[in-house]
């Protein structure tokens, strides 16, 4: 029997709404506002470093919370209550950012960290609802639908905000107030498209699971158990080490590109338009790399994306004009979705069928922990050298080491190990 399609649409629309935080806050507008407005009274290189530290701290908190929240999602019938709590945390932080201004770099960083925790924390419980609103044969389709709607929703609001920032006089604003209003629109947009989920989806009634440990101990003991299990799959573990490195580089580029561009003198309008291009270039190019993987193998296609990222970092060091940023933003859009999708599919091929839930949970937590060090290294190198160009150049290490380790992964052997484990 098919699940309720109304509930499925309600679930997918939440992604349409909350993806506005990823586009406007993480990638496009807030980093520019932080550098050019909130931190305009401190050295620009120092501002870039502080933003890197804020990103690292936010991701670290999320990474630590993830296994605890995952345990709550598994053992309680209160997923909706926790989703509402974290989502409202993110929405309120977004709206409060509209009331920040010049010199408020500490307050902006704090609200950004709170918003990031709300965004990621809510996603833990949002993901946990998927098996409850879709049958097993519908899960992949519904998950993809949510992902696609997220691209569209985040892109639409970013487009609206870009128009408002480029033509603020049309809305009776100036450019700074237009940016502030854009932060409020994120919270409002997120809230509006969360209403269907909050109204139509409820926790399935189930007998409470008895626990003899705290959620904290359960969460981290699960990670320990999974890591002990995963060590038996050498190719999978080698791939994870490679993933931790290159994913850190990718995450840092996503989070630091606009504030770096601001520091070296690229105009705000050029930065925002370029990132809007990245958003929409990514949609067809993700499908392209899926097609390419079928022709030359997923590993070779992933290697191509990483070499392109390495080129992006090198060219980023020499970047000095808006045209350069447009070209690099287009290049990032070309490879970003492909690299993430191929990483997940390669990992999935080497996961034993009986361990998919456990190992993919570990993969999700790993992706969060692996995004901690890059922004910190970027900020630290920029601060001690007094030049953020060296900060972006430091990301070469993540990609070079990631490429070296990935080249040593034998995906076919990993698939065979997984198959043999399943048959055992």
Half-sphere exposure of 126 (CA within 13 A, CB side): 28
* Pair 249, 257: CB distance under 8 Å: no
The better pLDDT of the pair 340, 383 is held by 383
Q: In 167-212, which residue ranges form alpha helices assigned H by DSSP?
A: 175-192, 195-200
Mean residue pLDDT across the chain: 87
Greater model confidence, 24 or 352 = 24
- Taking the C-alpha atoms of residue 287 and residue 214, their distance in angstroms, rounded to an integer, is 43
- Identify the pLDDT of residue 211: 61
- Residues 328 and 315: beta-carbon distance below 8 Å: yes
CA distance 304 to 322: 26
The confidence band for 424, taking pLDDT boundaries of 50, 70 and 90, is very low
Q: Is the pLDDT of residue 207 over 70?
A: no
- Lookup: tokens for 284: 């067809």
Q: Give me the domains of the chain, ranges plus CATH numbers.
A: 1-200 (1.20.1250.20), 225-424 (1.20.1250.20)
Quote the CA–CA distance of 214 and 230 in Å, as a whole number. 24
> pLDDT digit string (tens) for 271-323?
888 888 887 787 788 778 888 988 999 899 999 999 999 999 999 999 988 99
State the Cα–Cα distance between residues 150 and 194, nearest whole angstrom.
12
The better pLDDT of the pair 421, 234 is held by 234
Q: What is the pLDDT of residues 69-121, one digit of tens each?
A: 777 776 777 788 889 999 999 999 999 999 999 999 999 999 999 999 999 88
Contacts of 62 (CB under 8 A, 6+ apart): 116, 117, 120, 121, 368
Structure tokens, 424:
């055992």
Per-residue pLDDT, 369: 77
Least confident among 284-288, 375-379, 415-419: 284-288
Helices (H) and strands (E) in the chain, counts: 19, 0
Q: Which range is least confidently modeled, 31-40, 68-77, 343-352, 379-388? A: 68-77
Among the ranges given (93-107, 184-198, 364-378), the one the predictor scored with the smallest mean pLDDT? 364-378
Res 352: pLDDT: 82
User: What pTM, to 2 d.p., does this model score?
Assistant: 0.80
pLDDT the model gives residue 1: 42
CA atoms of 19 and 26, how far apart (whole Å): 10
Look-up of token digits 């990474």: 63
pLDDT of 13 higher than 60 = yes
Q: Which pLDDT tens digit goes with each residue over 33-45?
A: 999 999 999 998 9
Q: What is the DSSP string of 328-376?
A: HHHHHHHHHHHHHHHHHHHHHHTS-GGGHHHHHHHHHHHHHHTTSHHHH
pLDDT at 190: 98
Cα Rg of the chain, angstroms: 21
């Amino acid at each position: 029997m098919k699940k309720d399609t109304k509930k499925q649409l309600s679930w997918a629309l939440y992604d349409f709404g909350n993806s506005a935080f990823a586009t406007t806050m993480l990638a496009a507008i807030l980093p520019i506002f932080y550098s050019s407005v909130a931190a305009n009274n401190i050295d620009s290189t120092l501002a870039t470093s502080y933003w890197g530290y804020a990103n690292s701290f936010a991701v670290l908190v999320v990474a630590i919370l993830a296994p605890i929240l995952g345990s709550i999602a598994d053992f309680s019938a209160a997923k909706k209550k926790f989703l509402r709590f974290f989502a409202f945390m993110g929405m309120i932080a977004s709206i409060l950012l509209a009331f920040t201004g010049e010199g408020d770099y500490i307050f902006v960083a704090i609200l950004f960290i709170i918003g990031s925790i709300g965004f990621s924390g809510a996603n833990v419980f949002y993901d946990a609802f998927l098996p409850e609103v879709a049958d097993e044969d519908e899960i992949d389709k519904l998950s993809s639908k949510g992902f696609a709607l997220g691209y569209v929703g985040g892109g639409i609001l970013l487009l609206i905000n870009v128009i408002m920032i480029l033509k603020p006089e049309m809305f009776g604003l100036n450019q700074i107030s237009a940016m502030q209003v854009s932060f409020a629109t994120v919270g409002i947009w997120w809230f509006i498209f969360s209403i269907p989920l909050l109204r139509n989806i409820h926790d399935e009634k189930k007998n409470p699971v008895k626990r003899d440990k705290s959620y904290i101990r359960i969460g981290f003991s699960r990670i320990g158990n999974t890591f002990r299990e995963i060590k038996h799959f050498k190719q999978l573990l080698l791939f994870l080490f490679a993933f931790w490195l290159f994913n850190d580089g990718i995450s840092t580029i996503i989070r630091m590109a606009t504030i770096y561009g601001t520091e070296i003198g690229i105009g705000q309008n050029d930065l925002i338009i370029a990132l809007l291009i990245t958003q929409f270039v990514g949609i067809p190019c993700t499908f392209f790399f899926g097609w390419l993987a079928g022709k030359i193998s997923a590993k070779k296609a992933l290697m191509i994306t990483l070499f392109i990222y390495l080129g992006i970092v090198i060219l980023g060091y020499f970047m000095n004009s808006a045209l350069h940023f447009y070209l690099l933003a287009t290049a990032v859009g070309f490879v970003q979705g492909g690299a993430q999708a191929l990483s997940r599919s390669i990992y999935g091929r080497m996961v034993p069928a009986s361990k998919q839930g456990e190992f993919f949970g570990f993969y999700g937590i790993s992706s969060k922990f692996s995004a901690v060090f890059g922004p910190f290294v970027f900020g630290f190198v920029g601060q001690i050298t007094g030049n953020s160009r060296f900060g972006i150049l430091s990301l070469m290490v993540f990609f070079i080491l990631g490429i070296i380790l990935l080249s040593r992964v034998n995906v076919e052997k990993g698939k065979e190990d997984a198959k043999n484990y399943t048959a055992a």
